[in-house]
Amino acid sequence: MEIYLGAILSFGAMVTSGIGDYLAKLASVRIGSIRASFYVRFLGLIPPVLVIIFQVIFKNLDDRAIELDSFLTFGTMIGVLISAVYLAYYRGLEIGSVSIVPTVASAWFAVSVVLAVIFLGEEPTFVQVVLISLIVVGIGILSDFRSGNFVEALRSNQASGFSHAVFVMFILGLVTVLAKPMIEAGGPFLGSAYTHILSSLFLLLVIRWKGISLGFQLKDNLKYVLGAAFFDATGIMLFFMALVVSPITLVTPIMAAHPLATMACARVFENERASALQGLGIALTLSGVILLGLLG
């Protein structure tokens, strides 16, 4: 039962995170990626704090069960690393394509699965390995990547966002493995709130160091910033909740398919069509995600 609950929570995280990425793309283009990353993390405090307040009121928060040392150790590392992830990812979204940046970055789950097997002792079944491999292939095709572009993408100053996505891929894979013991020590909502606070402070320091103003035109931009913050924070909480009840090898491949939701938003609101090759990637990714959720 817990496996299925973890799969359902992961599906929810996949959809909400994908919508959040689309709104973050719009916000980053309008107000700049650094401002967008700060406001998404800062305003993203609201959902987990509201849940914690609810837990306190109804006496569902057991502070005696919190392992404070582990929680602070892993939470602090995550808070710093996730700041770098958001700076790189939102910059990639600002200058790159919705089809390329999220799909390349979503390969973070492969990094997290390898690290979970090595450091957390998780043992995926043969069926899970096959389905994870299917999702990897699907996401690779979904990015519409061509091997001939590899050197050019790394060396050029074109607005591809490719190198930003690769950085996010590795760091976010590490963050996911660190998140597991943090959540076990303090719970998903406290973990979400604490890492939001730390990353917001770090991003604020970056903004002050660069001399960037926090102000932006509210009229046409606030809805995108608030929407990105809400969906991003909700996706993180659902993801953390899934990690409580299910192994990383099940949760992360489903969560990593969030570019499907991002591309669906781009298709609906901007009429951005997927290529025939990306259509194949969508079919493979969806098949792998659904089967992993049902059979994992």
pLDDT of residue 147: 40
pLDDT band at 205 (very low <50, low <70, confident <90, very high): very high
Total-model pTM: 0.86
The 10 Å Cβ neighbour count of residue 173 is 22
| Region class of 62: left (phi > 0), else alpha (psi between -120 and 50), else beta | beta
Amino acid at 20: G
Encode burial over 60-85: b for 16+ CB neighbours within 10 A, e otherwise: ebeeeeeeeeebeebbebbbebbbbb
Least confident of 58-72, 110-124, 281-295: 281-295
Binning the chain into helix, strand and coil, the percentages to the nearest 5 are 80, 0, 20
C-alpha torsion sign, points 45, 51, 55, 57? positive
Residue with tokens 């699965």: 113
How far, in Å, CA of 141 to CA of 277, rounded?
A: 7
Query: CB–CB of 236/44 below 8 Å?
Result: yes
Q: Are 37 and 86 in contact (CB under 8 A)?
A: yes
pLDDT tens per residue, range 214-263: 999 998 899 999 999 999 999 999 999 999 988 888 888 888 888 889 88
Contact status, residue 190 vs residue 71, Cβ threshold 8 Å? yes
171: its two tokens = 């760091």
Question: Band of the pLDDT at 150, cuts 50, 70, 90?
Answer: very low
Q: Which residue has the higher pLDDT, 58 or 142?
A: 58
Q: Does 70 score more than 80 pLDDT?
A: yes
Give residues with Cβ within 8 angstroms of 182, minimum separation 6: 70, 71, 74, 75, 78, 191, 195
Instruction: Give CA–CA dist 82/22, Å, rounded.
Output: 19
Q: Is 246 left (phi over 0), alpha (psi -120 to 50) or beta?
A: beta
Cα separation of 100 and 97, whole Å?
Answer: 5
**Rg of the Cα trace of the chain?**
18
Q: Reply yes or no on whether the pLDDT at 104 is more than 90.
A: no
pLDDT (tens digit, 9 = 90+) per residue, 13-47? 999 999 999 999 999 999 999 999 999 999 999 99
When mean pLDDT is compared over 138-142, 241-245, 266-270, 290-294, the highest value belongs to: 241-245
